Amino acid sequence: MPSFPTTQHRSMSHPIPESFKAFRIHNDDDGYRAGIETVTLDDLSEGDVTIQGHWSSVNYKDALAGTGKGKIANVFPITGGIDVSGVVVASQNGRFAVGDEVLVTGCRQSQKRDGGYSEYLNVESDSLVALPDGLSLREAMAIGTAGFSAALGLYRMEANGQRPDMGPVVVTGATGGVGSFAVDIFTAAGYEVHAITGKVDEFDYLESLGAKQCISRHDLHWGQKPLETARWAGAFDNVGGDMLNGLTRVVGEYGNIVSCGLAGGFGLNTTVMPFILRGVSLLGVSSENCPQDLRATLWQRLASEWKPPHLDSICTREIAMDGLMDTFESMLTGRSFGRTVVKLN
């Protein structure tokens, strides 16, 4: 257990205010509620590095945690926000020095540890990634868990043999944060990308990111057979449920399907036929607990060859912590679009 930096240690390295703002979530006899509060560092989870938060972002999981519509947090009260980027203001770890620019995505933030919607926070150095050259602190959070998950999915597919010359890859939930980055990054990596969306009025947006074909999810007819005519060489799914079931039946031989999300349901009702007759692979993506060495590798790629070419078109909204609740509501009703960054300081 790392020792907690003393107040004296912190003040020697950087003037950290006695109290500051954080977006706190409570679940007690007075009910489930969340909002901005004044806290001190001693109110928050311990860690061997203290950072000043500069930017965070809004992910689907943040919306579930902030509204209580999904069971994300295991301890209360807790600070929301699974992502954060910022600058080290105190460190008891030799790998990180005061002034270093760093980021954390996932790693139990807003689940078991106080998260990133905070002007200052303690983090465990094991979860920290040094900001790679080629990304600003704001860009890192515009990408955040969403872009990281898209990159992790691409990495897993390619490690399992996916190649652009096998044919087109389809992305579902395409206008969401993860979906937008998947369309953008897979296109940049040389794939022909098709996009399935519930928002027919956003076909132009998806085409601007590189989608070669856009399909309304309301017009999908998967057929009834365990295997239907193969339509795609691979798939990146943010939706789950019937969508994922359908995809397993229409991905071609030795294609890979990444299961990333559950925006449409957490069930999966399919047969073994795609796996034993077509050699299809179903690959999981868990950005939360991705091994740290792979995490650092993927952030390097996100800062270079996989840097989303249309980052500015995907991340068009910037809010402060007081805009979080409205953004959560719009996300959970499927109205959200692209990415939102949260300015913390």
Ligand X SMILES: NC(=O)c1ccc[n+]([C@@H]2O[C@H](COP(=O)([O-])OP(=O)(O)OC[C@H]3O[C@@H](n4cnc5c(N)ncnc54)[C@H](OP(=O)(O)O)[C@@H]3O)[C@@H](O)[C@H]2O)c1
Which residue among 103, 263, 303, 315 contacts ligand X (CB under 6 A)?
A: 263
Q: Which is nearer to ligand X, 158 or 288 (CB)?
A: 288
Q: Which is nearer to ligand X, 61 or 113 (CB)?
A: 61
Q: Which is nearer to ligand X, 107 or 303 (CB)?
A: 107
SS (H, E, C) the chain: CCCCCCHHHHHHHCCCCCCEEEEEEEEECCEEEEEEEEECHHHCCCCCEEEEEEEEECCHHHHHHHHCCCCCCCCCCEECCCEEEEEEEEECCCCCCCCCEEEEECCCECCCECCCCECEEEECHHHCEECCCCCCHHHHHHHHHHHHHHHHHHHHHHHCCCCHHHCCEEEECCCCHHHHHHHHHHHHCCCCEEEEECCHHHHHHHHHHCCCEEEEHHHCCCCCCCCCCCCEEEEEECCCHHHHHHHHHHEEEEEEEEECCCCCCCCCCCCCHHHHHCCCEEEECCCCCCCHHHHHHHHHHHCCCCCCCCHHHHEEEEECHHHHHHHHHHHHCCCCCCEEEEECC
Tell me which residues in 7-66 interact with ligand X (CB under 6 A): 59-61
Stretch that binds ligand X, among 36-44, 283-291, 292-300, 315-323 (CB under 6 A): 283-291
Which residue among 45, 91, 109, 149 contacts ligand X (CB under 6 A)?
A: 149
Contact call for residue 295 and ligand X (CB under 6 A): no
Contact call for residue 307 and ligand X (CB under 6 A): no
Q: Which is nearer to ligand X, 6 or 286 (CB)?
A: 286
Q: Which is nearer to ligand X, 95 or 335 (CB)?
A: 335
Contact call for residue 174 and ligand X (CB under 6 A): yes
> In whole angstroms, how close is the CB of 239 to ligand X at the nearest point?
4
Which residue among 50, 111, 162, 175 contacts ligand X (CB under 6 A)?
A: 175
Q: Which is nearer to ligand X, 47 or 179 (CB)?
A: 179
Which residue among 24, 54, 217, 249 contacts ligand X (CB under 6 A)?
A: 217
Residues found near ligand X in the complex (CB under 6 A): 59-61, 145-146, 149, 173-179, 197-199, 217, 238-239, 260-264, 285-288, 331, 334, 336
